[in-house]
C-alpha cells in the first residue's frame, strides 16, 4: 500500500517560504569514559529500505548523516578496542534532526551492546514547535472523515476555531485558513500555511489543500509552526 508523509507548516509572518524539505538527519557524538573518539565507524541503516551508509567521526567525535528520508533506523558504532554498539528502533520523522550519541565500552570489536529505543528521540535542534502524528497515533485517534489533517488543530502553536468546517473525503474547505476559518491560525497572528506530501507541494487555491489523503495511506503527519520570517529548510 502506498504511504505518504504529510507536512503542514504555518508561518506567522506573511513572507514567502522556501522549498520545504521533508528529509531529516541523524547525528551524534561518540565517546568513551575518557572523552570523544575520533575515527569511529558509524553505520546508519534504514530498516524499511535496507539502505545504509557508513560515516567516520571527526576530531570532535562527531558524525552526521543528512538528507535521510523519514522512517525507522538502526545506528551502529564501532572502533578497534571497544565493543560494537547498536541502537535500533530510531524513528526519524519528517524534517527532524535526531541526536543519537554513543558511549562505547572497552572490549573486543566482536562483542556487541544493543539498545532498543523505547521512546521517540527528541528533536532538540529545531526552533519551531509542533507535533508528530505517527502511524500509531493516526490509527488510534478519532478524526472526522478519516482525514489526518483535521488533527492539526491539536498541535502546539495552532489556535483552533470553533466554527463548523465543511469536510468531504479528500477535501477540506480551508478558505482563508490562516485567518482561522477552518483548522485555526497560529497564535492569533496573520501568516501563511504550506502543505506538502513526500516533499512535493500540496498547496491548493485560496490556502486550501490540493489533496487530503485519508488515514489509511498516511504513515506520518508532522505539523510545525514558527514565528521566524527566516525559516527555510535546505
CB environment 197-206: b (16+ within 10 A), e (fewer): bbbeebeeee
Query: For the whole model, what pTM was predicted?
Result: 0.60
Domains in the chain and their CATH numbers? 4-21+126-226 (no CATH), 24-116 (2.60.40.1120)
User: What pLDDT digit, counting tens, does each position of 127-162 carry?
Assistant: 455 677 877 788 888 877 788 888 887 776 666 666
Q: Which residue has the higher pLDDT, 38 or 94?
A: 38
Contacts of 59 (CB under 8 A, 6+ apart): 38
3-class state of residue 166 by DSSP: coil
Q: What is the pLDDT of residue 122?
A: 47
**Distance between CA atoms of residues 223 and 206, nearest Å:** 20
Cell numbers standing for residue 149: 489533517
Binned at pLDDT 50, 70 and 90, residue 185 comes out as very low
**Distance between CA atoms of residues 197 and 3, nearest Å:** 10
Supply φ then ψ for residue 152, to 5 degrees. Answer: -60, -25
Q: What is the pLDDT of residue 189?
A: 45
Cell numbers standing for residue 136: 500509531
Q: Report strand pairing: 84-92 vs 112-116.
A: parallel
Amino acid at each position: 500500500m502506498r504511504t505518504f508523509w504529510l507536512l503542514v507548516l504555518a508561518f506567522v509572518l506573511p513572507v514567502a517560504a522556501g522549498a520545504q524539505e521533508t528529509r531529516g538527519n541523524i547525528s551524534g557524538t561518540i565517546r568513551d569514559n575518557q572523552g570523544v573518539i575520533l575515527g569511529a565507524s558509524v553505520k546508519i541503516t534504514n530498516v524499511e529500505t535496507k539502505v545504509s551508509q557508513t560515516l567516520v567521526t571527526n576530531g570532535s567525535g562527531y558524525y552526521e548523516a543528512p538528507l535521510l528520508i523519514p522512517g525507522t533506523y538502526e545506528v551502529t558504532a564501532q572502533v578497534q578496542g571497544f565493543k560494537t554498539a547498536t541502537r535500533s528502533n530510531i524513528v526519524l520523522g519528517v524534517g527532524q534532526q535526531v541526536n543519537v550519541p554513543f558511549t562505547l565500552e572497552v572490549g573486543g570489536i566482536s562483542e556487541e551492546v544493543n539498545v532498543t529505543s523505547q521512546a521517540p528521540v527528541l528533536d532538540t535542534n529545531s526552533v519551531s514547535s509542533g507535533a508528530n502524528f505517527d502511524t500509531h497515533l493516526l490509527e488510534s485517534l478519532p478524526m472526522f472523515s478519516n482525514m489526518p489533517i483535521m488533527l492539526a488543530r491539536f498541535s502546539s502553536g495552532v489556535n483552533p476555531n470553533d466554527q463548523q468546517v465543511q469536510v468531504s473525503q479528500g477535501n477540506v474547505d480551508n478558505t482563508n485558513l490562516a485567518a482561522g476559518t477552518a483548522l485555526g491560525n497560529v497564535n492569533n497572528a496573520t501568516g501563511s500555511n504550506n502543505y506538502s506530501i513526500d516533499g512535493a507541494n500540496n498547496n491548493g487555491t485560496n490556502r486550501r489543500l490540493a489533496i487530503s489523503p485519508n488515514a489509511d495511506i498516511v504513515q506520518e503527519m508532522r505539523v510545525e509552526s514558527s514565528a521566524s520570517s527566516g525559516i527555510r529548510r535546505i
